[in-house]
Structures are given as structure tokens and as C-alpha cells.
Structure 1
Amino acid sequence: MTPRELHDDAVVIDGLIIAKWNRELFEDMRRGGLTAANCTVSVWEGFQATVDNIVRSNALMAECRDLVRPVRTTADITRAKEEGRTGILFGFQNANAFEDQIGYVEVFKQLGVGIVQMCYNTQNLVGTGCYERDGGLSGFGREIVAEMNRVGIMCDLSHVGGNTSREVIEASEKPVCYSHCLPSGLKEHPRNKSDAELKFIADRGGFVGVTMFTPFLRAGIDATVDDYVEAIEYVMNIVGEDAIGIGTDFTQGHGEDFFEWLTHDKGYARRLTRFGEIINPEGIRTIGEFPNLTEALLRRGFSEPLVRKIMGENWMRVLRDVWGA
């Protein structure tokens, strides 16, 4: 089987995409052979604005039903693969949209939200992000974690502070994830996770999606798809071959105004970080180049069964554990 044949046959799941929603994006997902993706519909928004985002997203998916389908269960991901479409599951990068209402958790689950990051870079009612002094998971946050467990929404800790992350991992009765992170062992950065943090989540049944966001990669904007594979291998050697997957953090189609919004607290307040130039690794600049990742993993010496696990089978298993059959 050639690398392209393996890619086309495999289940390919991207654990985090925050690209610009449009038909062109969906067409590129099909070019890249993407089976399913966790697509961000909330970062700084509150309840109402997030619902509005979901309404717009649903309308776009209906217009593009030849390319995509909604995902509520792992069976929907299997169906997407059979149909030659890409399954879209909704995710939050911040629990801000829950506001102070525990009942909103189930409402968003019913609207198709399957993964929620507890905090985005700074503090909210649940806990603290990675750019602030971290006071840990709040009492209300513990109630939110329990409710997410109950309804079947996965807890994501990618942009979350170390103390809050540890306490969510300990409090959750279901597997939690870093949907898109990189190891600080290759590059020190507030968004990257230490070897100890990676081991802690994996030892407790958690999951790690590895991102290719170049500001966090060792080679920075000079990175290639092989540098991304180096990071995947580094993380896998810590968490094991069953607890690792892909979470690219594709920001395809967005302009400078979007990154200005992302990098300020609440979207407008103090500046939290400067990314500099945003350019994806050579060889996987766009979602349509996803097959190059499968080829790069094989070139690195990864076996065909292991490549299938990394590209999507591991995500399928952990999502089934959280969502139910």
C-alpha cells in the first residue's frame, strides 16, 4: 500500500481546527482526505454569541452537505468516512459560553458540542489559563467538569494552566485531553507542556493531540512536516502509542484582525502574546496537504498500524469513551 493509499483508507481525525468557515475550507478538507475535525465555534464569546456561531455554522454545513456532515457520535464519523464527506464536530476553546449556568452544558451538548476547553489563556469562572497565575479549578469548575462527564463532553486542557489542568485530570471520571499542544522539552513556551505534564495526563487515561503551530515548534516558521513528526515522536515516547493523535490548530483563511482578537484577553483587553508571522510547516501548509503527514510518519519509520492510530484511530477510541457508544 502506498502512503497515499494508506491515507485514503485510514480514518483521519484533526483534534483542533480554528480556520475560517467557508466552502473553500470544506473543499480543502476533502482534498486532504480528512474524515472528521473538531472545529472551534467559541473562544471569547458568551452564550448568545456562541449560539449565533452555531446557527451560522449549521447553515453553512447545510449548504455544503455534499462535502461535510455534522458529528454527534463516533458512528457519525464512521458514516462520514463511508460517504466520502468530512464530519464536523463543534468544540469550544473556552468554557466562557457556559457563563454561570450549569444547565447550559447540556444545551450545548444537544447543539452538537463534543469537546470544550476549560479556559482560553486567562481566568474564567472554571479555572485559569496558561498566561496567568494559576489558582486551580474553582468549586464551580468542579461542577462543570462533573456535568461535562455526565452529558458526554470531553474536557480539553490545551490552553489551560498547570494547576487547573492537574485538578481537572484528577476530578474527571472520563478521559480528558490536550487536543492541541507541543512539548516544552523541544521548545520552552507557556503553551507547551512539560514531560511531567504529558506523563501525568497519559497515566490517568488522558489523551494528547499534537499541534503543528509553528510559534511553538522548535524550528519556528522554518519548520517542515518532518519537524512536526519529530514533535509527535517526542510526545509518543512519553505518553505511549495509544494516547496520541493529531490536533493541527489550522487557522487557514484568517487575517491579522483574527489574530489580534485571539491574542488579547477577552478579545480586546490586554495583549497576552505576539505570535509573529503565522505560517504552517512546509509540506502541510494547508489542510489539503494532510496526506503528506501520513507519508512523513512512514518515512520516519512508523509502522502502518501505528500511523493509523496516530492519524485517527486513537481519537475515535477516546471520543467513544467520553461520548458513549
Structure 2
Amino acid sequence: MNAAELHKDAIVIDGLVCGKMNLELFQDMHKGGVTTASCTMAFWENFQGTVNNIAGVNKIIDENPEMLLKVRTTADIRRAKAEGKTGVLMSFQNTYAYEDQISYVQIFKELGVGIAQMCYNTQNLVGTGCYERDGGLSDFGREIMWEMNRVGVMCDLSHVGSKTSEEVILESKKPVCYSHCLPSGLKEHPRNKSDEELKFIADRGGFVGVTMFAPFLKNGINSTIEDYVEAIRYVFNIVGEDQIGIGTDFTQGQGQDFFEYLTHDKGYARRLTNFGKIINPKGIRTLGEFPNLTEALLKDGFSETQVRKIMGENWVRILGEVWGE
């Protein structure tokens, strides 16, 4: 089977997209043969702001039933594939939207939120992010985590501090993930994960989605799709072929205001970092170019079975373990 045929036949899952959630973005996903994308509904938005974001995306899904399908279960992912649609899985990059109400975890689960990152770069009520002195998981954070386990929401640790992450990995009753990260073995960065951290999560049944966000890649904005595949290979060699997938962190369609929001604590307070220019790796600049990744993985020497796992099958399995369906 050639690369184009394999991409068309495979389940393709992007474990993290935070582009501008409009029709154009979803059309490009569909063009790229993306079976399901985990779409960020919240960073620092509160409960009401997050509900508004979900309502906006629900409207797009409802108005385009021939192309889009809301994903709540792994059966929905397989249905999207069978019907040639793109599944929309809703997720958070922070637990801020839960505010101080444990019951909100179930409410958002019922609205379709199946993955939630415990912290976004800095401290919240749950724990600590990767840009701050890490105090670990709070006792309230443990209650949030246990409720996420109970209702079936995956704990994401991509932007979470190492101590908080370690405690979630050890104490969660369900598998947890780095939905979008890169190895610090290729580039030192507060957002990248050490070999030890990657092995630690994998050894305990966790999952690693590899991102292609250029500031975290070895060659920065000069990176190519080959640099991204090099990072996938690096992580693959640590965690193995069953606990790795894709989480691009595509910010397609977003303007400078969005990046200002992301790089300040609480979206407005102190500056945490400055990404500078954002350019996705040459060869996969847009979601519509997703087939190029299947081709690049095959070219690098991954087997057809391994490519299927990396491109989506591993995500389906691990989500099923968390969601219980």
C-alpha cells in the first residue's frame, strides 16, 4: 500500500488542535483526511466563557453534518472514519473552566469534553504549570483528578510542571497523557519533556502525543517535516510503538492577539515567554497537508503497522481505556 492509500485507509487522529475554531479550519482538517481532532475549547476561560466556546463549535458541527461529527466515544471515531467525516473531540488545555466546582467535570463531560489538561503553564487550583516553581498536585486537584477518572476524562500533562505531572501519573486510576510535547533530548525548553519523564509516563501505561510546534523543535522556525519525524522517532525509541501518537498543536488561523493571550499568566498577567515568529514545519504547514506526514513516516522506515498506530490507532485504544467505551 502506498502512502496516499495508507493515509486514506488509516484512522488519523490529531491529539491537539488550537487553531481558530471556524468552518475554514474544519474544512482543512477534512481535506487532510483527519478522522478526529482534539479541539481546544478552553485555556483561561471560566465556566461561562467555555460553554460559549462549546456552543459556537456545536453550531458549526450542526450546520455541516455531511462533513463533521461530534465525538464522545471511540465508536464515534470509527463512525467518522466509516462515513468519511471529521470527528470533533472537545478538550481543555486547563482545568480553569471547572472553577472550584468538582461537579463541573461531569457537566463538561456531558457536553463532550473528553480530555482536560490539569494546568496551563502556571498555577491554578489543581496544581502547577511548567513555567513556575512546582508545588505539586493540590488536594483539591486530587479530587478533580479522581472525578475525571470517574466520569472518563483523560488527564493531560503537556503544559504541567514535572512534580505535578509525576503525582498525577502515580495517582490517576486511568491512563494519562502528554497530548502534545517534544523531547528535551533534542532541544532544551521548559515545555519539552526529558527522556526520564517520557519513560516514566510510558512505564505506567501513559501516552505521548508528539507536537510539531516550531519553537520547541530543534531547528525552530526553520524546521521541516523531517525534523518533526526525527522527534517522533526519538520519542518512539523511548516509549515504544504502542504509546505514541500525534498532537500537532496546530494554531492555524490564529492572530498575534491569541499568542499574546497564551504567553501571559491567566491570559493577561505577567509575560511567561515570547514565541516570536510562528511557522509550522515545511511540508506540513496546514492541517490539509496531513497526508505528507504518513508519507514522511514511511520514508523514515516505520512499518505500515507502526504508521497506523502512530497516526491514530494508539489514540483510539488509550481513549477507550479512559472513556470506558
Q: Which residue does 1:121 correspond to in 2?
A: 121
Is 2:205 the counterpart of 1:205?
Answer: yes
1:253 to partner: Cα distance: 0.3
In 2, Cα distance between the equivalents of 1:26 and 1:64? Answer: 10
Q: Which residue does 1:159 correspond to in 2?
A: 159
In 1, Cα distance between the equivalents of 2:80 and 2:64? Answer: 14
Aligned residue type for 2:88: I
Q: Which residue does 2:47 correspond to in 1?
A: 47
1:22 to partner: Cα distance: 1.3
Q: Which residue does 2:172 correspond to in 1?
A: 172
Is 2:229 the counterpart of 1:229?
Answer: yes
1:181 to partner: Cα distance: 0.1
Aligned residue type for 2:81: K
Q: Which residue does 1:263 correspond to in 2?
A: 263
In 1, Cα distance between the equivalents of 2:112 and 2:168? Answer: 22
How do residues 5-24 of structure 1 correspond to structure 2 at under 5 angstroms?
A: 5-24=5-24
Is 2:154 the counterpart of 1:148?
Answer: no
In 1, Cα distance between the equivalents of 2:27 and 2:99? Answer: 34
Structure 1 counterpart SS, 2:242: coil
Aligned residue type for 1:275: F
1:264 to partner: Cα distance: 0.7
How do residues 36-185 of structure 1 correspond to structure 2 at under 5 angstroms?
A: 36-185=36-185
1:65 to partner: Cα distance: 1.8
Q: Which residue does 2:187 correspond to in 1?
A: 187
Deviations 1:99-123 (A, max 9, x none): 1110000000000000000000000
Structure 1 counterpart SS, 2:88: strand
Aligned residue type for 1:79: R
Structure 2 counterpart SS, 1:160: coil
Structure 2 counterpart SS, 1:234: helix
Deviations 1:115-153 (A, max 9, x none): 000000000000000000000000000111100000000
In 2, Cα distance between the equivalents of 1:65 and 1:275? Answer: 36
1:234 to partner: Cα distance: 0.2
Is 2:312 the counterpart of 1:288?
Answer: no
Structure 2 counterpart SS, 1:120: coil
Structure 2 counterpart SS, 1:174: coil
Q: Which moved more, 1:249-258 or 1:59-68?
A: 59-68
Unaligned segments of structure 1, at least 5 residues: none
Q: Which residue does 1:35 correspond to in 2?
A: 35
Is 2:304 the counterpart of 1:304?
Answer: yes
Unaligned segments of structure 2, at least 5 residues: none
1:24 to partner: Cα distance: 1.1
In 2, Cα distance between the equivalents of 1:48 and 1:29? Answer: 27
Aligned residue type for 2:319: L
Structure 2 counterpart SS, 1:28: helix
Structure 2 counterpart SS, 1:88: strand
How do residues 236-275 of structure 1 correspond to structure 2 at under 5 angstroms?
A: 236-275=236-275
1:204 to partner: Cα distance: 0.3
Deviations 1:50-88 (A, max 9, x none): 111111111111112221110000000000001111000
In 1, Cα distance between the equivalents of 2:26 and 2:147? Answer: 32
Structure 1 counterpart SS, 2:191: coil
Give the TM-score, by structure 1 length.
0.99
In 1, Cα distance between the equivalents of 2:28 and 2:121? Answer: 29
Structure 2 counterpart SS, 1:278: coil
Aligned residue type for 1:160: V
Q: Which moved more, 1:25-34 or 1:124-133?
A: 25-34
In 1, Cα distance between the equivalents of 2:165 and 2:77? Answer: 28
In 1, Cα distance between the equivalents of 2:121 and 2:316? Answer: 27
1:242 to partner: Cα distance: 0.3
Give the TM-score, by structure 2 length.
0.99
Aligned residue type for 1:25: L
Deviations 1:223-282 (A, max 9, x none): 110100000000011111100000000000011111111111111111111001100000
Structure 2 counterpart SS, 1:277: coil
Structure 2 counterpart SS, 1:19: coil
Percent identity, aligned pairs only? 73
Q: Which moved more, 1:101-110 or 1:56-65?
A: 56-65
In 2, Cα distance between the equivalents of 1:291 and 1:198? Answer: 27
Deviations 1:184-226 (A, max 9, x none): 0000000000000000000000000000000000011111101
Structure 2 counterpart SS, 1:294: helix
In 2, Cα distance between the equivalents of 1:270 and 1:10? Answer: 43
1:289 to partner: Cα distance: 0.2
Paired residue total: 325
